[in-house]
Amino acid sequence: EKQNVLQKVTAQPPSRNDALVWLARTLTEQNEVGEAAGLIHTLQDDPNLPARLADDLNEIKGYWFYKQDIFDSAAAYLEKSLTNADTKQDQSRSEFLLGQLYEMTGKFDKASEFYSKASVHTTDPLIDIYAQLNNAKMRKGNNIKELELGIANLLKLTKKDKFESYRDILFYSAGELAMEKPDSNQAVGFYTRSY
């Protein structure tokens, strides 16, 4: 793929390596994990693999581990491929997924970090709501103040016009956090407001 400037401007970009990355993704999706692993290792060890495909390869590795329920490795490779996102929304979706993966592996501090990032970067109100809810659950421990802060953040969102059509979800989520405290009276109040 190394070309001079004139060749780069006038020629179509080489697609062989892109096709091999897509083939690895397809094999992984079809649960052909052995064949996918062989192709991934071949690509990984290829000294001529262009640097522009490094993030794509990390994303495929992460997906390969995810398909086998090896969530800690999946999270590690997905984190390496975060720069691959085309838009802020794609980045926020990846960060939300990272939060979920780290939550599943018991790394609650890392999960909280990525839920916070997803909430900041997203343009989708639902991702924002669930990122804040999950983040509040990650920080709970035995700290009721953290849960109250999470409830307060969700209640602030109910007052914003952007979240008007999601108020039922916000109140329900606040109820879920109130149950974590546990404060069933407060939870019932939020659940009632969610209808």
Between 141 and 23, residue with greater pLDDT: 23
- At CA 34, angle to CA 100 and CA 14, rounded to 5? 85
Q: 17-53 pLDDT, tens per residue?
A: 889 999 999 999 999 999 999 999 999 998 888 888 8
Share of the chain above pLDDT 90, in %: 41
Decide: pTM greater than 0.85. Answer: no
How far apart CA 114 and CA 94 sit, in angstroms, is 9
pLDDT of residue 141: 56
How far apart CA 26 and CA 40 sit, in angstroms, is 12
What is the distance in angstroms between the CA of the first residue and the CA of the last residue of the chain?
Answer: 59
pLDDT of residue 14: 66
Q: 77-92 pLDDT, tens per residue?
A: 999 998 888 888 899 9
How far apart CA 116 and CA 20 sit, in angstroms, is 35
Tokens of 131: 């990122």
Highest-confidence segment of 37-41, 145-149, 165-169, 172-176: 37-41
- Span 99-107, average pLDDT: 92
Identify the band that residue 140 occupies on the pLDDT scale cut at 50, 70 and 90: low
Tell me how far CA of residue 40 lies from CA of 129, 134, 136, 185, in angstroms. Answer: 36, 33, 37, 54
Cis status of the peptide bond prior to 50, with omega within 30 of 0? no
pLDDT of residue 6: 65
Q: DSSP letters of 126-151?
A: HHHHHHHHHHHHHT-TT-HHHHHHHH
pLDDT of residue 94: 92
Q: pLDDT averaged over the chain? A: 86
pLDDT of residue 95: 94
- Span 102-109, average pLDDT: 90
Highest-confidence segment of 21-25, 123-127, 165-169: 21-25
